[in-house]
Structure 1
C-alpha cells in the first residue's frame, strides 16, 4: 500500500518507523516547515522531519494545507492512504486524494478527549486508564468512525513524558494492525457516540500556573500532566519557578495555601488547600532544571515563605 505519513512531534516517530519497516511503501512524509526557535533563533525541524531524513523518505514541508500546489503534489504521488499521527486538521480537499481514505491515531479512547492534549488532560484529571484509537478521518476534529482501540494503564508515577512515550510504542503496532486489516477489508468501522464526547483542547498558559488553594491531589496531577512540557509554574518573590516533580503528602496543615511548611535537606513541603505537596525537582527563572537538593544549596528560601507571590 502506498502511504503518505503526516505528523510533527516525537509521539509520531515510532509509527513512522514501524510503517517504514513494514511491507507498505511510505512514499512521502508531510510535516510542518522548519521554524526559528529559542534564544539563538536557530531554525529547527520537527522530530518527524528528522526521522524521515534518517529513513531516506522524501519530506513535504506543508504551509497552507489547502494550497493548489500542495494538492497537486500529493495527488501526483497517487497514495492509497494517508496515515496521520499528531498533525493538523486536514481540509476536505486533501481528504479526497487517497483512494482508501485517511487513518488517524489518537491518544485517547474516543469519543473521550477529542483535541490536541488528550494525554496531558487524562493525567491532569487523575484518570487511571486511557488508551489509543485509530479512526477514519473527517474534516471535523477527532469525530470519524472508530476502527480499533486499545486501553493503556496510567501508572501513579506517570508523567506526560513517560506515558506519551509508552503510548507511542503501543500506538505504532495498533496503527500497523489497522492499516493491514483495512487493506484486507476485515474491519467494520463504528460510529462515535457524540453524546458522550469530551474535549481535550491545547493547554493554555493560564493553566500552567499552580493555584495553591487547590488540593494536593489536583496539583500533583497537574505537575505530572505538564512534565516535561509545558511545565507547571508558580512564583516566589515575583520570579517564576517551574515544578517538574512533586509528590502528595496526606496530612492536614493549618497554614495559608502556598506557604513553605518545612525546609529540609531532602526538599520543600508546601501547604495546599488540602494536604501538602513535596517538591523534588524544579527550575528557577533563567536557570537549568535541578533536583531540589541542588536548588536548596544556594537558595535563601525559608520556612514561612510564600509561593505564588
Structure 2
C-alpha cells in the first residue's frame, strides 16, 4: 500500500467523521439533513486543520448491528460520502460498524472512496455484539468482483473486544496480512480514547514488513509525537473534538495543533536517525 499515492504523505493523519445516528438506529432523530450538515461541518474542520484523509463512520448508531447493517444505513452513508467528496479535496474511507465490511466496500466502490476499515478481518473476537468472526475470504472475493482498487485496513486485536485464545501481536498481524490479505493494519488500545503502547506498535511494525501500521485510538496532542515514530500513520477523532468531548463536533484549532505535534514527532525521529547514522559513520 503506497501511502504517498493515496494521502500525498508517508505518514498520514486520518480524521474520523462521526456520523450522527442514521435511519433505523435506536437514536435516529428522523432528519437526514441534520446528519449531512454535521458531517459537512466536521469534514471541513478536519480539512482546514490539516489532516491528510477522512474516514466516515456510523459511530453514533450504537448499539451496533453485529454484522450486516440495514440498507437505509448504507444509503445514508453513501449520500454523506458523495457529498463530502464534493466538499473537501481529501481521500475518503469508510468504516461501517460493527463489522459490515462488504457494505463499506460497496459504498466505497460507488462513491470513489479509497479505503475501508474492517474491525475484524481475521480470527474471532468476543464483543458487546457477541462473537464476531472475520470473513476475509468473502471480502477479498467481493473486492475482486467489484473490480475496485480499494485498500483494506484491518484492526488487529480490535478495541472493545477480546480475542478467543491468546494470540500475540506478532501472530495476529502476520495472520491478518498474510492470510487475510489486508493492505495495512490498525493497532488500538482497549477502548475508544485509549492509546496503544509503543511496544505494541513496534511489534506490529516488525511483523507487518512493508505494510503500513496505523494508530487506531487514543492519539492526542500530548502523546502523538511519542507514538508516531513507531507507526506509519494515525486515525484520530475523539481528541480533536471541542473540549475533547466525544459528543462535540471537531475543533479545527485542536486539529491543527495535533497535526503540528505529529509533524514535530516525525522531525525529531529523522534527526535522531541522522545523528545515529553519523555516529556509526564516525566509528
Q: TM-score, normalised by structure 1?
A: 0.27
More helix by share: 2
Q: Which has the larger radius of gyration?
A: 1
More strand by share: 1
